[in-house]
Copies of this chain bind each other. A is one copy, B any other.
Amino acid sequence: MKKDRETEAPEDFDVHDLPSVAERRSKATPKTVPEAVLRRLPRYFRILRGLFNADILRVSSDELSSHLGITASQLRQDMKYFDAEGQRGYGYSVKALYTSVSSLLGVSKKHTAAMVGAGNLGSAIASSMILEQRGVWLKGVFDVKAALIGKTVAGVPVRDAAELPDFCSANNIDILIICCDPGSAERAAELASGTGVRGIWNFSQYELQSEKTGVPTENVCTGDSLMNLIYEMSGKNENKTQI
């Protein structure tokens, strides 16, 4: 009983159209979400989005847990922190779960972003669906290279990096996306501080510390992932498969 469609299947669904948490019954969710559950949240999000978009209405702990590579028991423990109840004998509503995870993650809110670095990496991210799928609206792109200024990246004109602070202030930018070289990265983070930027998403090789930037900062350490791969390839972990 996989595809168990009820009424109309949402065709052009966007997570931002979902009912807000306040609109739904609250289970009086336990306060703090534990580290371990937090780490799994983005995977819950992706898997539930997949199920939702495939018009699957219900899912059992057994099935969903196998998608995640965890035990059904563990999944049911996780559910304590989700704002959605299951139904004994039937399972969980995919939509309720998806809504709950989305709002828990804060992904159902809209955010604005500015990007520093209009090179290959910046272009790749700006052109992908990653930003819009999570409610992030790229409002400005900046670079120091004169050759790039005036061109467009994913439809957004490239501006002189010197204009970054003013632009952030004027446009209420929430997120600074750093796609430039390590040297400029630190400077960009400094420039953005005090402009109202509330978070930094950093792709440069220069690792930024939230303690220094003063705002939540997420470093995308691509190289770490390559090292994990090489470790797995070395065959040293005879235990279970990593996730």
Contacts and interface: CB of A to CB of B under 8 A. Distances in A.
Interface stretch (A82-90, A119-127, A141-149): A119-127
Contacts of A201: 225-226, 229
Contacts of A218: 225-226, 228-229, 232
Contact of A227 (B32, B41, B119): B41
B134 A226 contact: yes
A1 interface: no
Nearest to A129: B205
A106 B42 contact: no
A8 interface: no
Contact of A106 (B236, B239, B241, B242): B236
A207 B67 CA distance: 12
A124 B133 contact: no
Contact of A232 (B42, B133, B216, B228): B216
Contact of A42 (B210, B211, B228): B228
A237 B191 CA distance: 26
When A and B form their complex, which 4 residue pairs have the shortest distance between CB atoms, in order from nearest?
A: A106-B234, A216-B232, A42-B224, A120-B124
A28 interface: no
Contact of A224 (B43, B119, B124, B136): B43
A238 interface: yes
Contact of A222 (B215, B220, B230, B231): B220
Nearest to A207: B46
A18 interface: no
Contacts of A225: 201, 218, 220
B123 A199 contact: no
Given A120-B124, A127-B120, A205-B129, A104 B236 contact: yes
Contacts of A170: none
